[in-house]
Amino acid sequence: MTTSHRPEIAVIGGSGFYSFFSDDAESVVLDTPYGSTSGPITVGDVGGRSVAFLPRHGTAHEYSPHTLPYRANMWALRMLGVQRVFAPCAVGSLVVEYGPGTFVVPDQLVDRTSGRVQTYFDQGGVHVEFADPYCSELRGAALQDGVVDGGTMVVVEGPRFSTRAESQWYARQGWTLVNMTGHPEAVLARELELCYTPIALVTDLDAGIEAGQGVRAVDVFAEFARNIEPLKKLVRDAIGAAPSGPCSSCRIHDGADLPIELP
């Protein structure tokens, strides 16, 4: 690891969010026990704070949600000294009130993925508290003017979008957003005692919520591109509002005997 700064805050960019700094940002090369990260980590300055940026899907969207190296990504950020993570992401809306262009900071998660490795604790009897999956302090920092406070994000396996019947079922459960990458990212952050919150950008109404041809990737990317600058501004404002250091509620391993040493 070679960096002249130890960033305390990280941003994981979602679909269409592949860069955050100018070309003079410092690039960091890391080797983790879980392989390479999905893209290069760059370190730059945001309002006087050192911030790390990692493109979740790679710099050219090389990774689909089910093939992402989630464990390598989160481990590398902690290796760098990161304590807090903002995770912008594209989501479909399951309620007509949240149309394309809406920013939402959810407060709950439902995991509907399958086959993804979702823990660092492959040995030992470790059970992780996850009732409230997102850091309350970071959520508060992200709740800038006009941002919707709360909602349940259901995370599906992908890479396909939902059928109409599936999205209608999700909506009947009272869930409000659908996404493909929010899990296991959130629980891996919790295991590493990283404060974590998503910042969701609604790119579409999910297939069963309105009549039409259904969700198409090209339309999702186009809507994300239309909103990328407001999203980056929101992330910068959230970084400026974020407290320093980890919060006590995300220190879940105090007194526990872990089977591995965290970085």
Active site (catalytic) residues? 204, 206
Phi, then psi, of 31 in degrees rounded to 5: -115, 120
- Is 15 known as a binding-site position? yes
- Is 132 known as a binding-site position? no
- Is 152 known as a binding-site position? no
CA 119 vs CA 115, 179, 186: distances in Å:
12, 20, 11
- Is 74 known as a binding-site position? no
Cis before 159? omega within 30: yes
- Is 206 known as a binding-site position? yes
Start-to-end CA distance of the chain, whole Å, equals 12
- Is 36 known as a binding-site position? no
- Is 253 known as a binding-site position? no
Q: What's the CA gap between 219 and 171, in Å, rounded? A: 21
- Evaluate whether 113 touches 167 at the Cβ level (below 8 Å): no
- Evaluate whether 186 touches 134 at the Cβ level (below 8 Å): yes
- Is 203 known as a binding-site position? no
CA 62 vs CA 6, 27, 35: distances in Å:
27, 19, 16
**Residues within the annotated binding site for phosphate?**
15, 56-57, 181
**Residues within the annotated binding site?**
15, 56-57, 180-181, 204-206
**Residues within the annotated binding site for substrate?**
180, 204-206
